[in-house]
Structure 1
Amino acid sequence: MNNLNDPPRWNIQPGPRERGVGAGDGNQWNYALLVPMLGLAAFRWIWTRESQREIQKGKAQYDTDVCTIKSDMEAQYRETLTESRRAAAALELELEKERQRVKGYKQAIISQSQHLIEERKQLEQEREALEGEKQRLVRSGTAGAVLRHALEQENEWYQRATATLKELEGLLVERQNAYCSLIQPRDQRLEMEKNMLLKVVKDPIGAELNLESDMKDIFKRDKHCADLLNLDKRKNGSLMWVYLKYWQLQVTVQKYKRAEEAILGGKVQNLTK
């Protein structure tokens, strides 16, 4: 059995030569610690070098990723910029087309208005000529009585035609107000236009005055609206008012023509005998 009072020499003992006066037991321990410390220093040096290598590798990968992302973003930016410019150019082209179209509409309305004004002047001249003829016939005695009677017979037609035009005026005012309204549905305005066309087609006076084509022209070309703060519906529209005056002149001239045709056809001749 082992003697606990004399354990084996587990600890490092200095050699016999190292023993002597002044020789301490700590020298052997110093040498024993030197090896682990050298190993630790070597491990630290290797670890530091590997860490530096990984850091450099990470930096290089980061720079590569940043460069790639930057290139992708620049390409997307250029593509987006190109698309935006293309879209802006397309919108500018459409805007120019709309400007030309509006300009064409304005020129057409002006031309149509001038044409109607010329026709109205011509009708006024015809009316003045008929009025002068009427006064001459009135002064001629019997012929004047015939003309008065013929005009009285056409007066009922004249009153009905005038009432029809007055009703159409109200309908056109409401239609133009619907066209200029920002809240009234477009389908409601189209329904109003459809009903107005049906009315003038069914009405004999509308057929005599050819109101259907004139109404379609108004619906197509009259786009005039007063300012947004306007509360007077009658300030909307431009071409429709020219047509209304034109129609009234037509009715007046038509009254005298109908009376003249009645006289020439012998329908009122017997009344003078």
Structure 2
Amino acid sequence: MNNLNDPPNWNIRPNSRADGGDGSRWNYALLVPMLGLAAFRWIWSRESQKEIEKEKEACRQRTAAFQRDLEARYHATISESRRAVARLSLELEKEQNRTTSYREALISQGRKMVEEKKLLEQERAQVLQEKRQPLRSAYLSCLDKEADWQRRARLLLREFEEALAERQSIYCSLVLPRGRRLDIEKGLLVRASTDPLAVDLEMAAGLSDIFKHDTHCGGVWNTSKRQNGRLMWLYLQYWELVVELKKFKRVEKAILEK
């Protein structure tokens, strides 16, 4: 409201400019703070936007660095896994080659034993033809004696075969205790070193070879013990040939000593 006691020019009149007065200075007094507030708001918004962009850029850089670190670790892990797989594959190949060489050596030895057996049979036939009756009775007598030795040796091999099949079955099983297999192996090695027949057949070295290298299993659902193992069956065939060969050698030795 206007104060009637004040001079006229001190009162605020809306139309003072139209009347030729200086009331416009009050309008300028209101305009300046508003312009200052608008300028401050514009400056503050611009600075805030800069800070936001700066934080976004820093966040992107941290994310990129973290991603690079993860990728480096991932590639390092993959490389290490590949090296481990390559190393294990090489060791497996070496083991397979070693087993193959053992198998081939046994097969070759078995063939030699068969050839020696044939030669001995030929020599025996030749001796029989040359000496006929005088040696026939002695030969048959020695053959009967050695047949008993052969029977006991084959019985021993059957017992070893059952024990080896049981041992291999435990080796291939996921539930049977490992200690039981070790007990069987220990018992077989002790018997191979103490039983005269086993010592004569030199079975201890073959058993150690089987325990060390025969890792073949028939499969998860396999229920037949004869499907497990490979090297052990080759050795059993080899020992049977040794029994047959030693029988004839013992007969030959007995005849020559008479």
Normalization by structure 1: what TM-score? 0.75
The answer as to 2:73 corresponding to 1:68 is no
Q: Could you tell me how far apart the structure 2 residues matched to 1:108 and 1:230 are?
A: 27
Q: CA RMSD, aligned part only?
A: 3.4
Cα deviation for residue 263 of structure 1 reads 3.3
Q: Could you tell me how far apart the structure 2 residues matched to 1:246 and 1:44 are?
A: 106
Q: Could you tell me how far apart the structure 2 residues matched to 1:162 and 1:92 are?
A: 45
Equivalent in the alignment of 2:102: 109
The answer as to 2:187 corresponding to 1:195 is yes
**222-231 vs 206-215, greater mean Cα deviation:** 222-231
Greater RCO (Cα-Cα under 8 Å, separation 6 or more) = 1
Equivalent in the alignment of 1:225: 217
Cα deviation for residue 233 of structure 1 reads 0.9
The answer as to 2:144 corresponding to 1:158 is no
Equivalent in the alignment of 1:89: 82
Name which one, 1 or 2, has greater alpha-carbon Rg: 1
**56-65 vs 245-254, greater mean Cα deviation:** 56-65
Amino acid at match of 2:187: N
Equivalent in the alignment of 2:20: none
Deviations 1:159-199 (A, max 9, x none): 22121111011111112222322333444433322221111
Equivalent in the alignment of 2:228: 236
Equivalent in the alignment of 1:27: 13
Identify if the C-alpha distance between structure 1 residues 99 and 157 changes in structure 2 by more than 3 Å, giving closer, same or farther.
closer
**79-88 vs 36-45, greater mean Cα deviation:** 36-45
Equivalent in the alignment of 2:243: 251
- The number of residue pairs the alignment matches comes to 251
Amino acid at match of 1:41: M
Equivalent in the alignment of 2:91: 98
**107-116 vs 128-137, greater mean Cα deviation:** 128-137
Using the aligned pairs only, state the percent identity: 26
**62-71 vs 164-173, greater mean Cα deviation:** 62-71
Equivalent in the alignment of 2:198: 206
Amino acid at match of 1:201: S
Cα deviation for residue 145 of structure 1 reads 1.6
Cα deviation for residue 210 of structure 1 reads 0.8
Amino acid at match of 2:257: G
Structure 1, unmatched stretches of 5+, are 1-9, 20-24, 267-273
Assess if the C-alpha contact under 8 Å between 1:224 and 1:238 holds in 2.
yes
Q: Could you tell me how far apart the structure 2 residues matched to 1:251 and 1:130 are?
A: 18
Normalization by structure 2: what TM-score? 0.78
Cα deviation for residue 205 of structure 1 reads 0.9
